[in-house]
Chain A
């Protein structure tokens, strides 16, 4: 079908659990591809958004400069941007490092940790590696997000109902059971 709206998805500082939850809609994914065409997404492995997208699903918050770059890219190319999952909406597990200074985190991970093997005794500092941010930020503290679906992960039903409502031009009105933070 021509002129289907496009859907882009990405995992920033997340664990891909929210994407697993997208796959957890099971056979409804066949209905989903009737409604949308997937643009950039880990599901089809397209690396850059190619055209204007109706909906962007963002999993994970921003922990490094590449996350910020990708998130801004999504904001530019998506009409409606959805924070999906607790990492996107509040930082999630990666944000546990926010109470510890970044230098201490790196030293623990690469120099002082009990299982570290690092004979050169250096912290990773290759220009190819995205620089870490001072803290992990939820998406809406970096760009404007249009909608939030909390949960770890949000259930397949939550994602499905929200997406179908958006793609068919209806308001997202999720029942009580579908908005959970755990």
Chain B
């Protein structure tokens, strides 16, 4: 029983953390090249809707993932135009982008519902349910493939950013666009790639929320998870491993909040529901001031 409780708990943590991990990586790789990806929430939302629609119409959840990537690419190109080439203020643009995404997804969702479309998509299922997740292999099988993809991408982004030549160039652009330009880098091209990759990852986060968790869509279904991922990146000091830890911590807080209600202490449920936020806040406070890459959020224009 004790073991089973932990197995359930851990799989719940991973389930809640997976979309956050994708989005956190989306913010992180983008920010490391100097663009503050406030639009993560919007990219996640359109990714979630695209994933559900593609999965519903094709009948295959993996096609849903492809659909999310396609929409993520489009969103990334729009954001690139705005934040890299014009360039506009990244925070304002990001917020406006989120609002547009919310409006567009709500509008499409309403059209579909009026059209009588059932938005129950085929889900990416775990190989087995949490009943058998009492061993590590069991746990591995008790979460969806997207979770493993997310963890794999954390490792990939760490190696890329901190162990390879292109990673050094990438980080240089985020630390000082001017110095990178002076060193002969095409700042615009690097940032374009970064924004598109960031948007693709955010859209994958949306796919993980729907296909990997609840295979349906509702208005504003991301509910600020993109912003929580953003906070996780700051908490994680712009490091993929620590950002992953932050996402897991938040997921653990959420899973714990629900389980604490089951104890029936008669405490107002709000105290438990605050838990993930309080835990995250305390962790951030304990970590101290986070230093973002120095040029993140600053538009760069060639004269």
The yes or no verdict on A and B being binding partners is no
Instruction: Give residues in B with beta carbon < 8 Å to A.
Output: none
